[in-house]
Amino acid sequence: MNLPIETKPALWGVAGGAAALAIVGFSWGGWMTGAKAEAAATQRAGAAVVAALAPICVDNFRRASDAGANLVALKKVESWSQGDYVEKGGWAKTSGTPPPEQVSAVAKACAGLLAAS
């Protein structure tokens, strides 16, 4: 196959333009691979679950028979271990068997809401 000599620079231009477009698209254009999109969707879904379950945890905490004493004890605990206090108290658990990292995230969000009140 014989191509005219003027075609070679055009083909190099097309190849260079395609490479530049891909670099710009993935760097600044917001394009992403399927695996990266899946990871982002999983992270957003987990955050939505935590946001939905944290108020339920707060309600469970406040409905406990000794809620006042528990709230005082929670506020005495250092801020970085308040989530552990809520988790150990069992207020962050829901029905079923959620993954432990989800229970921990709900407990931390719940502790943050309780400490702010």
Domain boundaries, the chain: 1-31, 34-116
Q: What is the pLDDT of residue 4?
A: 83
Q: Which pTM was predicted?
A: 0.70
CA dist 103 to 38, 40, 47, 50, 85, Å? 22, 20, 12, 8, 12
- 112 within 8 A of 50, measured Cβ to Cβ: no
In one-letter notation, the amino acid at residue 66 is: D
Per-residue pLDDT of the chain (117 residues; tens, 9 = 90+): 777 888 888 999 999 999 999 999 999 999 999 999 999 999 999 999 999 999 999 999 999 989 999 999 999 999 899 999 999 998 988 877 677 888 899 999 999 999 987
Q: What is the pLDDT of residue 43?
A: 93
